[in-house]
Amino acid sequence: MTVEGFGNTLYYGDNLKVLRDYVPDESVDLVYLDPPFNSNASYNILFKERTGQESAAQIRAFEDTWHWGEESERAYAELLESPLAPAMAKEMVASLRRALGDKNDMTAYLAMMAIRLVELRRVLKPTGSLYLHCDPTASHYLKVVLDTIFGKENFRNEIIWKRTQAHNDPKRCGNVHDAILNFVKDSNQATWYGGGHKVSDEYLKSHYSKVDALGRRYQLVVCHAPGPGPARTFFGREIEPPPGRHWTWTQENIDRLIAEDRIVLTKTGGPRLVQFAPDTVPLQDVWTDVDPVNSQAKERLGYATQKPLALLERIIQASSNAGDVVLDPFCGCGTAVAAAHKLDRRWIGIDVTHLAIALMKNRLKGNFDLEPVYRLRKDEALAPNQYRVIGEPEDVEGAKELAREDRDEFQYWAVSLVTGQPRQSSKKGADRGVDGVIFFVDGPQRSANKAIIQVKSGHVVSPLVRDLKGVLEREKAALGLFITLEEPTRDMKAEAASAGFFHSDLMERDYPKVQLRTIAELLGGKGFELPPRPAQFKQAQRVRRREGVQGPLEIE
């Protein structure tokens, strides 16, 4: 199967295996990766040797941070044996292991990253680019490893992105930036459209503070440069340049600029060039104009390492064309995938947690009204509003196996079947009976309502449904959706029915207040009965207007 054959796809699983099993040679136009790199851990903790006495929670900034063990040892061995890995890359990683030792996280991180970077180079087209997002803790090591895999001649930029505002650190300068390392497969063929980006209003006001009669912003620039030179004539008067300087243009160019009203004399008699504000400026390697995803941002999903959509849009637009394939092997909450879809690129997203896959499903539904497809015949093509999901359970037996392996991941996956928003908790058992939530609009003011989701993988009994009714009241939720791996008992169904109904003003109908669905039913296409969500709201409005009823205000 080729990339062209399956179109937009999310993969659950280890990205190294997915790359080898599914992604052909030279089939991808752009790779963006933001791997976990202990951005919240201190430098000393990251390099601390693991003796078995330290707390894992102290060393780990994320649950998926890598430590030296069987997996990293295997990755190191695969790198040394790989025919795709350049000899210099093998020597470099071996040298780093000797220098750093094999009992700290950084050595494991570099070994795990190196073999994956080899595979990412394999799947890139000759015109392709790779952008690796990291922080200063590991960027210098990754740069050296990338030099040996891609070739130092294919290094383009170390982009500095200001990711936060000023910090007050009593021991050092505030750490406010990330690094994005940009390499290409072949410098002679790489796609590049980074010629310019829109100038921000703040930049215009600070750098082009003057405004002419036509409303155009401009600044006044000196007309001389270092090195001696002769006098020139400005407005019929010969003017000497400052000592040790010369006028920038020939007399012919000066006369032309004066005729175009592009040169003025200051109060002291010095000529200045009128430089108008550009619509765009060439893309530089320091980005201070892309704001991070703060607590008030509309795009915020609550994912710890979420990057702003504008950041990924800039990268994708600079190094790819419409219709190209964008790959994110550590896609997290899916910002690269969302940006690629928005910009009419095809995409591949890979992640090893069902939480990330669930967040992406929810994002793709909410932003683009896309539906996941789990099974596709060889002669069947994806519809424009569909994408493939590969690696997640496709039947009840697969669901049972996932539940046995990891109950939390099973819950995330189950919530994603109804495109709900998973509820994350930092402590086990701290979800307080809510594993996910779905928002919808209803009521006379078309305000937000919510349905809470509860997932059970083990033995289910009627008191669980009774407890869900109590959670509904506590959470002030309109509906309770109960997902179970087992068939609900007769008493459970009766308990659910006793909860009564929620009346939808928008749809002019009643919905069961507590609803039960098995995993088998959800996989078979029998979902919950719900009023329209915000993304479906415009369609509902159009239907009612055709019936001659005044439609509600739209919610974006």
Is the pLDDT at 45 greater than 50? The verdict is no
Is the pLDDT at 543 greater than 60? The verdict is no
Alpha-carbon separation of residue 433 from 436, 450, 480, 489 (angstroms): 9, 15, 11, 20
Residue 281 token pair: 């400026």
Predicted model pTM: 0.77
Q: Which CATH number fits domain 3-197+284-390: 3.40.50.150, 3.40.50.970, 3.40.800.10, 3.40.50.2300?
A: 3.40.50.150
Residue type (1 letter), 363: R
Q: How much is the average pLDDT of 35-61?
A: 43
3-state secondary structure of 212: coil
Is the pLDDT at 301 greater than 90? The verdict is no
* 451 touches 478 (CB < 8 A): yes
Characterize 321-331 residue by residue with b for buried, 16 or more Cβ atoms within 10 angstroms of its Cβ, and e for exposed: eeebbbbbbbb
CATH entry 3.40.1350.10 includes domain 396-546: yes
> Residue 335's pLDDT is what?
93
Residue 240 token pair: 């000497």
pLDDT digits (tens, 9 = 90+) for 218-232: 999 998 999 999 999
> Residue 278's pLDDT is what?
85
Is the pLDDT at 164 greater than 60? The verdict is yes
pLDDT grade for 482, boundaries at 50, 70 and 90? very high
SS3 readout for 288-349: CCCCCCCCCCCCCCCCCCCCCHHHHHHHHHHHCCCCCEEEECCCCCCHHHHHHHHCCCEEEE
pLDDT digits (tens, 9 = 90+) for 401-413: 999 988 888 999 9
pLDDT grade for 297, boundaries at 50, 70 and 90? low
Residue 35 token pair: 């791997």
* 455 touches 481 (CB < 8 A): no
Distance between CA 293 and CA 297 in Å, rounded? Answer: 6
* 148 touches 105 (CB < 8 A): no
> Residue 66's pLDDT is what?
65
> Residue 303's pLDDT is what?
56
Q: How much is the average pLDDT of 327-343?
A: 93
Is the pLDDT at 339 greater than 60? The verdict is yes
Residue type (1 letter), 304: A
* 382 touches 45 (CB < 8 A): no
pLDDT grade for 359, boundaries at 50, 70 and 90? confident
> Residue 302's pLDDT is what?
55
Distance between CA 119 and CA 137 in Å, rounded? Answer: 24
- Beta bridge mates, 373: 388
In this structure, the number of other CB atoms found within 10 A of the CB of residue 397 comes to 9
pLDDT grade for 48, boundaries at 50, 70 and 90? very low
* 312 touches 302 (CB < 8 A): no
pLDDT grade for 47, boundaries at 50, 70 and 90? very low
Distance between CA 156 and CA 328 in Å, rounded? Answer: 19
Q: How much is the average pLDDT of 418-433?
A: 67
3-state secondary structure of 69: coil
Is the pLDDT at 172 greater than 90? The verdict is no
Q: How much is the average pLDDT of 531-550?
A: 45
Which letter does DSSP use for residue 507 in this model? T
Lowest mean pLDDT among 58-72, 393-407, 498-512: 58-72
pLDDT digits (tens, 9 = 90+) for 183-210: 999 999 999 987 666 777 877 888 899 9
DSSP alpha helices (H): ranges in 15-104?
15-22, 43-46, 56-59, 70-81, 87-100
Characterize 447-458 residue by residue with b for buried, 16 or more Cβ atoms within 10 angstroms of its Cβ, and e for exposed: eebbbbbbbbbe
Sorted by where each begins, the domain ranges of the chain are: 3-197+284-390, 200-277, 396-546
In this structure, the number of other CB atoms found within 10 A of the CB of residue 549 comes to 11
Lowest mean pLDDT among 92-101, 106-115, 340-349, 371-380: 371-380
> Higher model confidence: residue 363 or residue 424?
363
Sign for the CA dihedral angle at 81, 87, 90, 91 comes to positive
pLDDT digits (tens, 9 = 90+) for 303-320: 556 788 999 999 999 999
In angstroms and rounded to an integer, the radius of gyration of the C-alpha atoms of the chain is 29
> Higher model confidence: residue 476 or residue 50?
476
Q: How much is the average pLDDT of 70-84?
A: 92
- Beta bridge mates, 448: 441
Residue type (1 letter), 196: G
* Helices 87-100 and 105-123, packing angle to 10 deg: 170
Share of the chain above pLDDT 70, in %: 85
Is the pLDDT at 540 greater than 50? The verdict is no
> Residue 539's pLDDT is what?
36
Share of the chain above pLDDT 90, in %: 56
Is the pLDDT at 51 greater than 80? The verdict is no
Is the pLDDT at 43 greater than 80? The verdict is no
Is the pLDDT at 525 greater than 80? The verdict is yes
pLDDT digits (tens, 9 = 90+) for 220-278: 999 899 999 999 999 999 999 999 999 999 999 999 999 999 999 988 878 999 999 98
> Higher model confidence: residue 164 or residue 517?
517
Average pLDDT, the chain: 84
Distance between CA 436 and CA 422 in Å, rounded? Answer: 4
pLDDT digits (tens, 9 = 90+) for 6-29: 579 999 999 999 999 999 999 999
Distance between CA 270 and CA 40 in Å, rounded? Answer: 53
CA dihedral 108, 109, 111, 112 (to 10 degrees): 110
Distance between CA 457 and CA 404 in Å, rounded? Answer: 9
The torsion angles phi and psi of 540, rounded to 5 degrees, stand at -60, -40
The DSSP element (H or E) to which 246 belongs, if any, is strand 245-247
Residue 246 token pair: 């010369």
